[in-house]
Amino acid sequence: MAYEHILVDVEPLIATVTLNRPKVLNALSPELVGEVNQALRELDVDDRVRAVVLTGGPKVFAAGADISDMAERTAVEQLHRDQTGRWAGIAAFTKPLIAAVNGYALGGGCELALMCDLIIAGDSARFGQPEINLGIIPGAGGTQRWPRTAGKYAAMETVLTGAPVTARRAQELGVVNKVVPAEMTIEVAKRIARQLAEKAPLALRMAKESVLKAFESPLAEGLVAERKSFYFLFSTEDQKEGMRAFLEKRKAVFKGR
Amino acid sequence: MATEVEVHVNVHVHEGVGLIQLNRPEKMNAIGALTRKQLGEAIKQVERDDAIRVVVLTGTGRAFCSGADVTELSVEGAGMRTPEDVGNVLRTEYMPMLTRLRTMPKPVIAALNGPAAGIGASYALACDIRIAVPEAYILEAFINIGLAPDGGVSWLLPRLAGTGVAYEMFFTGKPLSAADAHRLGVINRLVPAERLEAEVRELANHLASQPPQALAGAKRAVVHALESSFEEALEFESYLQEAQVASPEFAEGVQAFLARRSKKP
């Protein structure tokens, strides 16, 4: 389908979703969020695509929500619009999702990055949750995903002070995988996506699901879920192919079956 | 109160070179509240202006910069009254300025027309390259008035001069002469006063003629490397190089090299 606020580019095995409202620093309007969700729903069932890059382009990832649109809204209006609860498409996305972040990832933009599976940051990137300065708090997972990733104290500092951190600092805090020159961020993310796309899609899916399960469940429960997925994968053709290729010292070709 | 605002800092932009000149010669270019404000704006301006490819920071008169305006440190002076005020000025005003000088993706040359003391030394050391007259010196005088170093010199000086020299300067409060600084590599070039302007201009013009993205790449690589492991630095460089190889700058550079002609700007 045609999108107004985002670009979707499908190449062999990978896709890139680009937030495309640079004039408003990719402010996360309900329309834009809706399109991202729609695109991810479609890419999730698109067999041509095995991994996806999510980016805001070369200058900015997303500088939060549209404040002018929110300033005079009531609690009930906000509840009904449920702007922050509309990220279901990302939460349900089963393939590897890689954020390529240049410039600001603030507020909802930062939370969007934290919903991805890997974060590649340009050296110009800045991550932060400035909501506190507007008399509100993060509403799309910031208070939950920061502590689960960076720990309580870094999370408190980020959320209570509202001060953004550099790409290097975010890497130290464990919320960024790699810092690269800004002009290479998207390219590096795509290469990682291509590397992942060569792996067994079902194993990727189970691996992602298992890691995410760690944030949702006690250890014993997570271990049971992991084991079940581990055994399940022995029912796939790709497991047979992977192990045979290893023994035959050749490159495996995975088909997602 | 005079209605006319004094100009403590001049900015001249000419052929890709942005010259920032401290302009309080009667006060040895001491940095007061107004100087800070104007210098902060000047540094922001040269960073943001893409037409400026090289930045030069210098002083007018006998000194590069004698440091903070001590008359403002007293209770009667304008501005700083409490320890927290001093800390806040360091954190909210000096910190962004010095960080900008050190990280803006273009070369920054300090032209030391005379001594650089205290925060003045910090400005000199936060620049990428220093050219100085023999009469210049670098002074970390904090200890002489019962203070510890600030303005980033605890980070900059050990990297530029080694920890031994840095400690000696911090502990004794004695100046590092231009000759010694030159010998240690803290000052890149030593030139007679009458040649300083020409020498700096020549280097600045030369750098302004170099491919800007490659210049920026060199600076970004060093800034990144100073906070990285060797492996991280190698990886960052490798990605920068890919971007350079794909740039028109490299295409032109190689063609010019093969044709044995000079690069087009």
Quickly list H helices, B53-177. Answer: 83-89, 95-103, 119-126, 153-161, 163-172
Whether chain B has a CB inside 8 Å of the CB on A183: the answer is: yes
Chain A residues in contact with B236 by the CB 8 A cut-off are 123, 179-181
User: Are the Cβ atoms of B240 and A188 closer than 8 angstroms?
Assistant: no
Q: Which amino acid makes up residue A22?
A: P
Q: Is A11 a catalytic residue?
A: no
B105, B46 in Cβ contact below 8 A? no
**Average pLDDT taken over every residue of chain A:** 93
User: Are the Cβ atoms of B242 and A184 closer than 8 angstroms?
Assistant: yes
- Longest Cα–Cα distance in chain B: 67
Nearest Cα residue in chain A from B219 = A181
Question: Which run of H or E residues covers position A47?
Answer: none
Of A181, A183, A187, the CB nearest to B236: A181
**Average pLDDT taken over every residue of chain B:** 93
A129, A157 in Cβ contact below 8 A? no
Domain boundaries, chain A: 6-197, 201-247
Minimal C-alpha gap between B231 and chain A (Å): 12
Interface of B with A in 198-227 (CB under 8 A): 217, 220, 224, 227
Chain B residues in contact with A187 by the CB 8 A cut-off are 242
Q: Is A65 a catalytic residue?
A: yes
Q: How far apart, in whole angstroms, are the C-alpha atoms of residue B138 and residue B187?
A: 10
Question: Which run of H or E residues covers position A216?
Answer: none
Chain B residues in contact with A178 by the CB 8 A cut-off are 235
Q: pLDDT value at position B51?
A: 95
Q: How far apart, in whole angstroms, are the C-alpha atoms of residue B28 and residue B26?
A: 6
**SS3 call for A198:** coil
Q: Which amino acid makes up residue A65?
A: A
Whether chain A has a CB inside 8 Å of the CB on B239: the answer is: yes
State how far Cα A89 lies from the chain centre: 11
Of A178, A179, A181, the CB nearest to B243: A181
> Could you list the pLDDT tens digit for every one of the 265 residues in chain B?
455 688 999 999 999 999 999 999 999 999 999 999 999 999 999 999 999 999 999 999 999 999 988 777 665 555 557 888 888 888 889 999 999 999 999 999 999 999 999 999 999 999 999 999 999 999 999 999 899 999 999 999 999 999 999 999 999 999 999 999 999 999 999 999 999 999 999 999 999 999 999 999 999 999 999 999 999 999 999 999 999 999 999 999 899 889 888 877 6
Minimal C-alpha gap between B28 and chain A (Å): 36
Q: What's the token pair of residue B45?
A: 């301006």
When scoring B215, B227, B234 by the number of chain A Cβ atoms within 10 A, the one with the most, hence best to mutate, is B227
Whether chain A has a CB inside 8 Å of the CB on B250: the answer is: no
Q: Which amino acid makes up residue B43?
A: I
Tokens 């240690």 appear where?
Answer: B184
Helix axes B153-161, B163-172, angle to 10 degrees: 130
Going by C-alpha positions, the residue among A90, A56, A44, A88 that lies closest to residue A204 is A44
Buried b (16+ CB within 10 A) or exposed e, A78-110: eeeeebbebbebbeebebbbbbbbbbbbbbbbb
* Helix, strand, coil content of chain A in percent (nearest 5): 50, 15, 35
| Overall CATH class of domain A6-197 | alpha beta
User: Are the Cβ atoms of A184 and B224 closer than 8 angstroms?
Assistant: no
Q: Which amino acid makes up residue A116?
A: C
Give the ipTM: 0.78
DSSP codes, A225-243:
HHHHHHHHHTTSHHHHHHH
Whether chain A has a CB inside 8 Å of the CB on B171: the answer is: no
Chain B residues in contact with A184 by the CB 8 A cut-off are 239-240, 242-243
Please state whether the predicted TM-score (pTM) of the whole model is above 0.90. Answer: no
**SS3 call for B159:** helix
Q: pLDDT value at position B262?
A: 82
- Positions of chain A with pLDDT under 70: 1, 83-85
pLDDT in tens, B90-112: 888 999 999 999 999 999 999 99
Residue B5's CB is within 10 A of a number of other CB atoms, namely: 9
Q: pLDDT value at position B139?
A: 97
In CATH terms, the fold of domain B9-208 is 2-enoyl-CoA Hydratase; Chain A, domain 1 (3.90.226)
Which CATH architecture fits A201-247? Orthogonal Bundle (1.10)
Domain pair A6-197 / A201-247, same fold: no
User: Are the Cβ atoms of B236 and A180 closer than 8 angstroms?
Assistant: yes
Q: pLDDT value at position A75?
A: 86
Q: Is A111 a catalytic residue?
A: yes
Chain A residues in contact with B220 by the CB 8 A cut-off are 123, 181
